[in-house]
Amino acid sequence: MGSAFSFPLADNGHRVNLVGTHLDTEIIQSLKTNGYHPGLKVKLPERVKALEWTQLPEALEGTDLIVLGVSSVGIPWAAEQLGQVLKESVPVLALTKGLADSNNNLEILPKTFRQLLPAHLQAIKLLAIMGPCIAAELAVRRHTSVVLSGDDESLFESTAALLKTSYYHVWTSPDFVGTETCAAFKNFYALLVGMAKGILERDGEAENNANTHNLSSSLFAQALFEIEHIVRYMGGDVNSVYGLPGAGDLYVTCQSGRNGRMGSWLGKGLKFSEAKSRHMPNDTVEGAELAKALAPVLRHLMTERKLQREKLPLLELALGVVCEDALAEIPWHKFFV
């Protein structure tokens, strides 16, 4: 996504330094050789310069905006590397989605990133992009709609102006907590909506070739119901749940991606460990990673009744499937309580 994000920036005439992590050597070498991105299967714009992570100080010279696109599990590493070279005056825009456990409570990942920085950087400005965006589509300039949020509204319009193009449409929202919570949990719930495809394959084609849209739409609606409950607890705006950060992002994530593929294997009747080892051994399934990371705090919050267990049957199902290797059985009778 970080590579795809360079397209609207470059198309607006900006110089972009694309810095790979220590896991991206093959991609960076390809970009340096011929500009071709093997993951996106396109050439990046000429204004994009690919650099190794060891060249980070060079990359940040004269920078007006830093875009953070590591996976959620890479946030501590990114904070360590950037903490050595960041300037407090340069804002950081996060593409990374997620939540973290902070003293038995939930915290949005950009704020976790800030807390991991050295003391002199604790006042750094944070922004984030949320909404339905598949990297491969953005990299071929398909129409894409997103929401920009952050902890300083004075930066919204100037930052959005850096990004807006004829195909990349940017709205702004002051609901930093709500939009980030939606963005994190969409991966989590896409696992469960993705089960519908696997159930269809498990049960076989119907005699009239009917699909499972009835099933997937029920799971989708329950997922939004649960995300709303969590956003309310976090103090976010529930309008975000039914806009681009929530419904929009959940929809696009259910259409493709690793979370949906894992969900399909679960729907076929496989346990999570079996599906992961046999079919997705080298894939980071963000929804599953979130479940593992947040299982203790989510269960604590339900025990303390800060989150109401009876309103979160899919959340409980996901925790059981991912963390305890339980089989995925849809708890229909617990929906929409």
The CATH class that applies to domain 177-334 reads mainly alpha
Residue 127 has pLDDT above 90, yes or no: yes
Q: How many residues does the chain have?
A: 337
The CATH class that applies to domain 6-174 reads alpha beta
For 169, phi and psi rounded to 5 degrees?
Answer: -105, 125
Which segment of 13-17, 94-98, 170-174, 235-239 scores lowest on mean pLDDT? Answer: 94-98
Q: 3-state class of 11 per DSSP?
A: helix
Q: What does the pLDDT look like over 165-194, one tens digit per residue?
A: 999 999 999 999 999 999 999 988 999 999
| Dihedral over Cα of 191, 192, 194, 198: its sign | positive
Residue 220 has pLDDT above 80, yes or no: yes
The domain locations on the chain are 6-174, 177-334
Q: What does the pLDDT look like over 187-204, one tens digit per residue?
A: 889 999 999 989 988 988
CB 326 within 8 A of CB 319: no
Residue 72 has pLDDT above 90, yes or no: no
pLDDT at 212: 80
Residue 298 has pLDDT above 80, yes or no: yes
Q: 3-state class of 43 per DSSP?
A: strand
CB 82 within 8 A of CB 69: no
pLDDT at 296: 96
Positions marked active-site: 186
Residue 71 has pLDDT above 90, yes or no: no
CB 91 within 8 A of CB 103: no
Q: How far out from the chain centre does Cα 216 lie?
A: 21
Helix (H) or strand (E) holding 330: none
Q: What does the pLDDT look like over 262-282, one tens digit per residue?
A: 999 999 999 999 999 999 998
| Closest alpha carbon to 145 in 219, 23, 243 | 243
Q: Position 198: which residue type? A: G
Q: 3-state class of 171 per DSSP?
A: strand
Helix (H) or strand (E) holding 211: none
DSSP letter at 323 equals H
pLDDT at 174: 97
DSSP letter at 133 equals -
Residue 256 has pLDDT above 80, yes or no: no
H-state helical runs in 116-268: 135-138, 156-163, 176-193, 195-203, 213-234, 249-255, 258-267
Q: What does the pLDDT look like over 73-121, one tens digit per residue?
A: 899 999 999 999 998 889 999 999 889 999 999 999 999 999 999 999 9
pLDDT at 230: 97
For 127, phi and psi rounded to 5 degrees?
Answer: -130, 165
